[in-house]
């Protein structure tokens, strides 16, 4: 399970297009299990792909699209495909043009998982799915892992990659800046906390896990919290806190924070 | 908003307007030569012949350069402007909506009916430009002002009518292909009604835009009121269009989409089979339209050849434009079949253009992620297109043959098929050019693919009419097309064109292989 992380415009989809032979490299080469990426006939027997933006044929129903893809794929497990149709609660009788974003994504996910290909290249596969379907997606990924398949999951959501992947690569401005185990990236996980207090407010300078402390207006404080929240909460408990908001920062913010403006 | 619509259509409008002006001016200029060798008896014979009327419309005021131009160019110009107007209309309305670009526009304060109304306003204005060009060209050649104005207004109004029909169809049908098909069917029926009206049932003129245009009798009676009827009808259709736009949901036609349907699994087994499946609906439309036209032409063959044999002056006139030996069934059939290269080439170009469109809409992202190579996809699509054209030519040849059976001088089925299939080299060129465009300029597949057929035909006719040097006619593929079935096939010419087509296809493949896919 390999997560491919990067902010918008980092070049994740371009890298995938190179890997699939859709785009031609100006320099260098790409290989899929030792097969050159441009040898599509052989390389694509080894992989299945879910694009970020799925555009099924508008005049084909979901079932017909799945049949077409099964006919052109190297192998499709039809029984597993029927099971996936059920699990993803997908109605295959409707025409492509009537499907919502989530349903279009389901067509591609079902077709890709049903191939049982050794490598699944998934490009932002859950961006249109509701939480229930996201759970089904994670189940399908786990099935693939148990089956010995490799999943290459491209995302800009840290949480999704953390939940599914063992190893992570981070792409920034077209360069792979880090490849590490997910555990090693715990340092990336952080929250942005904003508190408002009656009166002076607590002194958080030097509290463990608190960085980037700044004042917001006359009664507010904002800081970034890394690691266990206990010490910061204890410090806050002493003050008269009237409001608290905690949010997950975006990947871009994390990267800026973690690597600085110019990167490592 | 208006600016956005104008940006999407001004190039096409300009090209059609230049063509309309040039052809009108050239034909009016050639009138003196025409009049020199023609007597009044010839005019009477021409006006009285039903077959001539059905094919070219009723000739009125042939002694006037304006009237002559109206007869020679009016019907084809009206069809050209109409076809452009309706294709453009469905492209920039339903096409844009299908590509979900209207979602963005409609997030602003504008409503769907208002957006549609602005498109109608720009399209109608643009459709009037070629008519104005025809008017300016005729006036500049010194024809009567009133006749020129009526003719120009007539062409403009017919174009405007079909622009509105295109937008109306785009409101009724949820896909661009469906809307275009329906609008083209209206055009075909309109033209058929005009032919029937000229054949015998003259009141049918009132039921067709082309019939109303003929009723103005520009340069003879100069009647404006048929145009008022046409303008009123276009207005009614426009109002109905806005009413439908106000009732429907975005992305849908007038009726909500059906809940679903059972899977139809035929022709899904390979890229080739799927290419055929995608082609079948539009193929049926082309086969019905072209088949019906050539059936009628076949039915008229006997009487047209009889007329031209009795009136050699007109046969000479046609020969000047490159159409020789029209006085025999085989000669006329050969001329009509050589014209077939234009629509058959267009069919081939449009098939490859749909591949380019599917690519840019990301439809191939799923299939090309399976072990299907670009080469296999290209072979599947061009193979399907070629097979479709060959089937189309067979249908059309058979229809023409069936038509001639009713007359005194039927042509053999094999001759008819030979005549229809004789256009294959030009079709191959169209396919080759379209594939080159797919490889190197995927945004211009239709335009480049139309060059050998429609472009070559225009070049050939104009070059022959103005006695251009031989090498200019030689540039056109039509300069290398033998008059089959009157003459044997020009094997050298056919092989030469096939070789150029093959080189073009290989060049296109090389471009497609090295470039990034647009998705």
Question: Is the CB of B109 inside 8 Å of chain A's CB atoms?
Answer: no
Q: Could you give the CA distance from residue B389 to residue B285 in angstroms, rounded to a whole number?
A: 13
Residues A25 and A138 in one domain: yes
Are B144 and B66 in contact, with CB atoms under 8 Å apart? Answer: yes
Is pLDDT above 70 for B321? no
CA distance B514 to chain A (A): 7
Name the strand (E) or helix (H) holding B222.
none
Looking at per-residue pLDDT, the higher value among A116 and B462 belongs to A116
The whole-number pLDDT of residue B311 equals 77
CA distance B148 to chain A (A): 46
Average the pLDDT over each of B384-388, B477-481, B482-486 and give the range with the smallest value.
B482-486
pLDDT-derived band at B137 (thresholds 50, 70, 90) equals very high
> What mean pLDDT comes out for the span B477-492?
90
Dig out the tokens for B22 from the structure.
């040039």
| Alpha-carbon gap, residue A224 to A189, rounded angstroms | 10
Residue B231 CA to residue B229 CA, distance in Å, equals: 6
For residue A259, pLDDT over 70 is answered with no
Bigger pLDDT: B504 or B252?
B504
Task: Give the residue carrying structure tokens 């090389």.
Answer: B510
Say if residue B422's pLDDT is above 90: yes
**DSSP bridge pairs for A4:** A154, A169
Query: pTM for this structure?
Result: 0.85
Touching check for A111 and chain B: CB below 8 Å?
A: yes
B268, closest residue in chain A (CA to CA): A68
- Specify whether A110 is located in the same domain as A229: no
Q: Is residue A92 less than 8 Å (CB to CB) from chain B? A: yes
Q: Tell if the CB–CB gap between B263 and A40 is shorter than 8 Å.
A: no
> A235 — contact with chain B (CB < 8 Å)?
no
Same domain, A76 and A200: no
pLDDT at A264 over 60: no
Q: Write the DSSP symbol of residue B452.
A: I
β-pairing, A220-226 vs A210-216, is antiparallel
Q: In chain B, whose CA is at the least distance from the CA of A67? A: B268
pLDDT at res. A187: 63
Inter-chain residue contact A40 with B257, CB threshold 8 Å: no
- Regarding whether A131 and A17 lie in a shared domain, the answer is yes
Count CA within 13 A, CB hemisphere, residue B340: 40
Per CB-CB distance under 8 Å, the chain B contacts of A108 are 366
CB of A190 within 8 A of CB of A256? Answer: no
* Residues in chain B within 8 Å Cβ distance of A59: 175, 278
Residue B205 neighbours by CB distance under 10 Å: 20
pLDDT band at A256 (very low <50, low <70, confident <90, very high): low
The confidence score (pLDDT) of residue A82 equals: 96
Residue B485, preceding peptide bond in cis (omega within 30° of 0): yes
Please give the order of strands across the beta sheet that includes A241-247. A210-216, A220-226, A190-197, A241-247
Q: How far is B268 from chain A (nearest CA, A)?
A: 5
Question: pLDDT at residue A255 above 70?
Answer: no
Q: What distance lies between CA B276 and its chain's CA centroid?
A: 23
pLDDT at residue A104, rounded to an integer: 94
Q: What is the mean pLDDT of chain B?
A: 90
Task: Answer whether B517 touches A (CB < 8 Å).
Answer: yes
β-pairing, A31-32 with A35-36? antiparallel
- Residue B40 banded pLDDT, cuts 50, 70, 90: low
Same domain as A94, residue A144:
yes
pLDDT in tens, B71-115: 888 888 999 999 999 999 999 999 999 888 899 999 989 999 999
State whether A56 and B363 contact (CB < 8 Å).
Answer: yes
Give which of A41, A44, A20, A113 is closest to B362, Cα–Cα.
Answer: A20
Residue that finishes a domain, picked among A185, A207, A230: A185
Q: How far is CA B351 from CA A27, B241, B271, B395, in A?
A: 34, 29, 14, 18
- Across the interface, whether the CB atoms of A71 and B269 are under 8 A apart is answered yes
Q: Number of structural domains, chain A?
A: 2
Mean pLDDT on B280-284: 94
Q: A233: helix, coil or strand?
A: helix
8 Å CB contact between A57 and B363: yes
> What is the distance in angstroms between the Cα of A69 and the nearest Cα belonging to chain B?
6
User: Which of A24, A25, A72, A90 best probes binding to B when mutated, by most B CB atoms within 10 angstroms?
Assistant: A72
Of the candidates B500, B358, B186, B94, the residue with the CA atom closest to the CA atom of residue A60 = B358
> A residues 6-45 near B, CB within 8 Å?
17, 20-24, 40-42, 44-45
Q: Are residues A236 and A223 in the same domain?
A: yes
Strands (E), chain A: 2-5, 31-32, 35-36, 47-50, 119-123, 150-155, 167-172, 175-181, 190-197, 210-216, 220-226, 241-247
- Indicate whether A261 pLDDT > 60: no
Interface-testing mutation among A68, A97, A110, A154, with chain B (most B C-beta atoms within 10 A): A68
Domain of residue A195 covers 189-259
**Residue A136 structure tokens:** 């089904």
Strand, coil or helix: A3: strand
Contact between B131 and B81 under an 8 Å Cβ cutoff? The reply is yes
- Provide the pLDDT confidence category of residue A263 given band limits of 50, 70 and 90: very low
CA distances from residue B370 to A38, A69, A147, A153, B173 in whole angstroms, order as listed: 13, 7, 20, 18, 32
Same domain, A138 and A229: no
Nearest to B365 among A55, A67, A73 (CB): A55
Nearest to B263 among A21, A51, A63 (CB): A63
Contact (CB, 8 A) for B175 and B34: no
Task: With respect to residue A147, please indicate whether it lies within any of the assigned structural domains.
Answer: yes
Domain boundary pick from A165, A185, A205 = A185
Alpha-carbon distances, residue B248 vs A184, B174, B251, B286, B387 (angstroms): 54, 10, 9, 29, 39
Residues A226 and A246 in one domain: yes
Nearest residue to A65 (alpha-carbon basis) of A110, A125, A124, A102: A110
Residues A229 and A153 in one domain: no
* pLDDT of res. A127: 84
**A24, closest residue in chain B (CA to CA):** B516
Task: Taking residues B269-275, report their average pLDDT.
Answer: 95
Name the residue ranges covered by the structural domains of chain B: 1-254, 269-519
Q: What is the pLDDT of residues B162-183, one digit of tens each?
A: 999 999 999 999 888 889 999 9
The stretch B277-281 carries a mean pLDDT of 94
CATH code of the domain covering residue A74: 3.40.50.300
**Both tokens assigned to A3:** 């997560």
Based on the fold, state whether residues A166 and A87 are members of the same structural domain: yes
Q: Is A75 on the interface with B (CB under 8 A)?
A: no
Helix (H/G/I), strand (E/B), else coil: B173? coil
The pLDDT score that the predictor gives to residue B445 is: 93
Residue scoring higher pLDDT (A201 or B358): B358
CA distance B354 to B244: 28
User: Is residue A264 domain-resident?
Assistant: no
> B305 and A107 in contact (C-beta within 8 Å)?
no
* B197-206, B271-280, B377-386, B506-515, range with the lowest pLDDT: B197-206
Distance from CA of A37 to the nearest CA of B (A): 11
A65 shares its domain with A168? yes
Model confidence pLDDT, tens digit, residues B339-364: 999 999 999 999 999 999 999 989 99
C-alpha distances (whole Å) from B490 to each of B423, B429, B493, B502 are 11, 16, 5, 18
Same domain, A135 and A233: no
Backbone phi, psi, residue B55, to 5°: -75, -40
Neighbouring CB atoms inside 10 A of A173's CB total 13
Question: What does pLDDT average to over chain A?
Answer: 87
Please check the confidence at residue B262 and state whether its pLDDT lies above 80: yes
Residue A126 counted as domain residue: yes
Model confidence at A186, pLDDT cuts 50, 70, 90, reads: low
Residue B375 contacts A, CB cutoff 8 Å: no
Residue B323 predicted with pLDDT over 70: no
Q: Which residue has the higher pLDDT, B280 or B484?
A: B280
C-alpha separations of A17 from A12, A20, A24, A89, A114 in Å: 9, 5, 8, 29, 22
Q: Do B371 and A54 touch (CB under 8 A)?
A: no
When mean pLDDT is compared across A35-44, A211-220, B95-104, B492-501, the lowest value belongs to A211-220
Q: Which two tokens stand for residue A80?
A: 């597993």
Q: Does A175 touch chain B (CB under 8 A)?
A: no
Structure letter (DSSP) for residue A249: P
Q: ipTM value of the model?
A: 0.83
pLDDT (tens digit per residue) in A42-66: 999 999 999 988 999 988 999 999 9
The CATH number assigned to the domain holding A228 equals 3.30.70
């Amino acid at each position: 399970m390999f997560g491919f992380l990067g902010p918008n415009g980092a070049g994740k989809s371009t890298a995938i297009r190179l890997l699939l032979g859709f785009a031609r490299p100006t320099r260098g080469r790409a290989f899929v299990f030792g097969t050159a990426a441009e040898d599509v006939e052989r390389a694509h027997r080894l992989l299945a792909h879910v694009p970020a933006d799925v555009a099924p044929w508008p005049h084909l129903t979901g079932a017909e699209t799945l049949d077409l893809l099964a006919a052109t794929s190297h192998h499709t497990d039809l029984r597993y495909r029927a099971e996936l149709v059920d699990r993803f609660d997908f109605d295959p009788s409707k025409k492509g043009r009537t499907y919502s974003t989530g349903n279009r994504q389901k067509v591609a996910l079902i077709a890709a998982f049903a191939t049982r290909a050794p490598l699944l290249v998934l490009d932002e596969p859950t961006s249109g799915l509701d939480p229930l379907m996201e759970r089904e997606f994670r189940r399908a990924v786990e099935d693939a892992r148990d089956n010995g398949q490799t999943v290459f999951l491209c995302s800009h959501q840290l949480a999704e990659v953390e939940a599914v992947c063992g190893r992570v690569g981070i792409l920034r401005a077209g360069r792979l800046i880090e490849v590490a185990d997910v555990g090693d990236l715990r340092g990336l996980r952080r929250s942005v906390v904003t508190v408002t207090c009656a009166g002076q407010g607590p002194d958080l300078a030097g509290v463990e896990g608190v960085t980037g402390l700044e004042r917001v207006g006359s009664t507010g404080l904002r800081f970034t919290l890394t690691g266990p929240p206990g010490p910061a909460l204890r410090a806050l408990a002493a003050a008269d806190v009237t409001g608290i908001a905690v949010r997950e920062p975006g990947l871009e913010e994390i990267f800026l924070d973690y690597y600085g403006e110019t990167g490592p | 908003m208006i600016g956005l619509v104008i940006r999407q259509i001004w190039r096409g409008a300009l090209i059609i307007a230049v063509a309309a002006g040039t052809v009108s001016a050239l034909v009016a200029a050639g009138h003196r030569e025409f009049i020199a060798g023609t007597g009044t008896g010839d005019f009477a014979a021409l006006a009285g012949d039903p077959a001539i009327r059905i094919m070219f419309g009723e000739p009125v005021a042939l002694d006037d350069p304006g009237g002559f131009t109206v007869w020679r160019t009016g019907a084809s110009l009206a069809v050209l402007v109409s076809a452009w107007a309706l294709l453009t209309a469905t492209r920039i309305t339903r096409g844009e909506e299908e590509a979900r670009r209207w979602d963005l526009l409609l997030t602003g304060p504008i409503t769907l009916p208002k957006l549609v109304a602005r498109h109608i306003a720009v399209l109608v204005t643009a459709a009037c430009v070629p008519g104005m060009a025809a008017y300016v060209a005729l006036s500049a050649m010194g024809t009567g002002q009133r006749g020129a104005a009526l003719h120009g207004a007539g062409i403009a109004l017919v174009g405007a009518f079909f622009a509105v029909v295109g937008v109306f169809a785009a409101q009724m049908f949820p896909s661009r292909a469906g809307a275009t098909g329906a609008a083209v069917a209206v055009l075909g029926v309109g033209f058929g009604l005009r032919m029937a009206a000229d054949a015998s049932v003259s009141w049918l003129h009132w039921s067709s835009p082309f019939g109303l245009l003929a009723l103005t009798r520009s340069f003879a009676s100069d009647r404006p009121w048929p145009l008022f009827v046409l303008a009123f009808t276009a207005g009614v259709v426009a109002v109905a269009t806005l009413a439908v736009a106000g009732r429907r949901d975005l992305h849908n036609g007038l009726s909500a989409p059906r809940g679903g349907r059972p899977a139809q699994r035929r022709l899904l087994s390979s890229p080739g089979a799927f290419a055929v499946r995608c082609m079948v609906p539009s193929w049926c439309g082309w086969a019905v339209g072209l088949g019906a036209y050539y059936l009628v032409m076949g039915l008229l063959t006997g009487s047209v050849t009889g007329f031209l044999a009795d009136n050699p002056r007109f046969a000479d006139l046609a020969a000047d434009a490159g159409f020789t030996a029209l006085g025999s069934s085989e000669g006329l059939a050969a001329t009509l079949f050589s014209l077939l290269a234009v629509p058959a080439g267009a069919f081939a170009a449009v098939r490859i253009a749909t591949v380019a469109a599917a690519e840019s809409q990301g439809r191939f992202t799923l299939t090309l992620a399976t072990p299907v190579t670009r080469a296999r996809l290209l072979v599947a699509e061009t193979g399907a297109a070629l097979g479709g054209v060959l089937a189309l030519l067979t249908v059309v040849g058979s229809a023409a043959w069936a038509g001639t059976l009713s007359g005194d001088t039927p042509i053999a089925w094999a001759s008819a098929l030979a005549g229809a299939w004789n256009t294959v080299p030009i079709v191959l060129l169209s396919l080759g050019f379209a594939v080159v465009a797919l490889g190197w300029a995927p945004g211009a597949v239709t335009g480049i693919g139309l060059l050998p057929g429609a472009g070559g035909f225009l070049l050939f006719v104009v070059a022959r009419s103005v006695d251009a040097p031989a090498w200019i006619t030689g540039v056109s593929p039509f300069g290398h097309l033998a008059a089959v079935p009157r003459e044997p096939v020009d094997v050298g010419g056919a092989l030469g064109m096939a070789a150029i087509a093959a080189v073009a296809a290989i060049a296109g493949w090389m471009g497609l292989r090295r470039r990034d896919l647009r998705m």
